[in-house]
Amino acid sequence: MRRALIDTGAIYALVAADDRHHATAAAFTENWVERRNIFLLPDLVFVETMTLMKRRLGPAVAIRVGRELRENPLFVWIARTPALEQETWSLFQSYDDKGWSYTDCELLALSRQLRIAEVFSFDEHFRQMPGIKCLPVVPSS
């Protein structure tokens, strides 16, 4: 079984049929599930996802997606710890020349703490991060 961190944009692409990455995200996820792999869902990604879903797709969709993320065993919740918060803040300050969000920095910190190099994301920022491999592999836009 493989584990990969999951980013907000990947979740959004799975849900929003009009997202340009929807078909790729759906096919990748189907293959991932068939192989009995899991996604690690950090608290901060959940918060960011709920905010984005509610704003773009409405509260009903946000609640439906939130329930799915909380109840589906494909998604394993990763709670924030003081050590993770400190590492995230440190990375956020260290890479102030990048356009990385605080959530992006938390995913990098988790990647290092858990020794998981793969992140399901379409965000170009992860391609800039040392030691990170984006899934699925797509050409740069």
Does residue 140 form part of some domain? no
DSSP character at residue 74: T
Quote the domain boundaries for residue 42: 3-135
Domain of residue 129, CATH code: 3.40.50.1010
Per-residue model confidence as pLDDT tens for the chain (141 residues): 999 999 999 999 999 999 999 999 999 999 999 999 999 999 999 999 999 999 999 999 999 999 999 999 999 999 999 999 999 999 999 999 999 999 999 999 999 999 999 999 999 999 999 999 999 976 555
Peptide bond into 136 cis (omega under 30): yes
Task: Take residue 55 and report the two structure tokens written for it.
Answer: 């704003």
Let me know if residue 141 belongs to a domain: no
pTM for the structure as a whole:
0.93
Q: Nearest to residue 23, comparing CAs of 38, 32, 13? A: 13
Helix (H) or strand (E) holding 50: helix 43-57
